[in-house]
Amino acid sequence: MADLSLHYSSKAPLAGTFAVFGQIFATWRQRAKERKELSTLDARTLRDLGLSASDVNFEVNKPFWRS
* DSSP codes, 6-62: SS---S-TTHHHHHHHHHHHHHHHHHHHHHHHHHT--HHHHHHHT--HHHHHHHHTS
Position 13 scores a pLDDT of 67
Question: Residue 42: its pLDDT value, please?
Answer: 95
On the 0-12 / 13-18 / 19+ scale of CB atoms within 10 A, 15 is exposed
Amino acid 18: pLDDT: 86
- Please state, in angstroms and rounded to a whole number, the distance separating the CA atoms of residues 39 and 47: 14
Q: What is the pLDDT of residue 4?
A: 57
CA distance linking residue 65 with residue 32, whole number of Å: 9
Mean pLDDT by 10 residues, the chain (67 residues): 58 77 94 96 95 95 93
